Amino acid sequence: MRKPSIKPDSMPQAGAKWRHFEQKALEIRRFAGAAPTERLDPQGLAEIINLRVVSLSAIEGLSDQAREHLRSSGQWSGAATEMLPDGSRIIIINDAQSPARQAATLMEEICHTLLGHQPSSIRTGDDAGRSYKRQIEEEAYGVGAAALVPYQALAEMLIAGKTVRAISSHFGVTPSLVEYRMKVLGLWKRDI
């Protein structure tokens, strides 16, 4: 991989959708009091906006079989409840995943709340399952990822020769999240 040939601006040159996600993410970072190049603390942000974070292992009354299924499925990272009577929500996080992966999950759930998304619904009966709206999920993940790894800081770190691993360590996220940001923002360059 070679260094990107870009001059970092505060907004990416990628499409309008990604600029929109970046703008929302910058608003979230300002609200959280996070400087552009520092790590955003999703746990602290959750507390500010009245979200209670609970680890899967702390849930009482869940069978060992159900708990193990969720922990080991690789498909389930977390979920949020609807608004509770006291105005809060509960976010359940799969604590079997790494802290860096948990940060992305928590930030996605925070973004669902901040962006006014309604929680998925669970259907029972013959068509049992969870509702899934691709556009809403993409927005929450995209804005959350941008809040965790802001464009301008990412571009400056890449220009300075920082590795993906060093960038992910700096922001407390997984290398795959940094690579995702690089790809969607057009910062991913490979010599083929």
Is the pLDDT at 6 greater than 70, yes or no? no
For residues 172-181, average pLDDT: 96
* 165 compared with 70, residue with greater pLDDT: 165
* 25 compared with 84, residue with greater pLDDT: 25
Can you read off the two tokens belonging to residue 36?
Answer: 């552009």
CA distances to 66, 68, 70 from 63, rounded to whole Å, are: 5, 9, 11
Interstrand relation of 78-80 and 89-93 (parallel, antiparallel or unpaired): antiparallel
For residues 113-129, average pLDDT: 66
Each residue's pLDDT tens digit, 14-28: 778 898 999 999 999
Share of the chain above pLDDT 90, in %: 51
Is the pLDDT at 1 greater than 50, yes or no? no
Residue 108 pLDDT grade (very low, low, confident, very high; cuts 50, 70, 90)? very high
Q: How far is CA 111 from the centre of its chain?
A: 8
Can you read off the two tokens belonging to residue 134?
Answer: 């691709």
Pick from 41, 98, 91: which is nearest to 71 by CA? 98
Interstrand relation of 122-123 and 129-130 (parallel, antiparallel or unpaired): antiparallel
Which amino acid, 19?
Answer: R
pTM of the model: 0.83
Can you read off the two tokens belonging to residue 1?
Answer: 């991989």
The whole-chain average pLDDT of the chain stands at 84
Helix 175-184 vs helix 134-148: crossing angle, to nearest 10: 110
**Rg, C-alpha atoms of the chain:** 18
Residue 62 pLDDT grade (very low, low, confident, very high; cuts 50, 70, 90)? confident
Can you read off the two tokens belonging to residue 147?
Answer: 């809040």
Report DSSP letters for 51-87, one per residue.
EEEEEGGG-TT--HHHHHHHHHSSS--EEEPPPPTTS
Buried/exposed code over 94-133 (b: 16+ C-beta within 10 A; e: otherwise): bebbeebbbbbbbbbbbbbbbeebebbeeeeeeeeeeeee
Which amino acid, 169?
Answer: S
Domain ranges of the chain: 16-47+97-122+129-184
Q: HSE (CB half, 13 Å, CA atoms) of 30?
A: 6
* 131 compared with 82, residue with greater pLDDT: 82
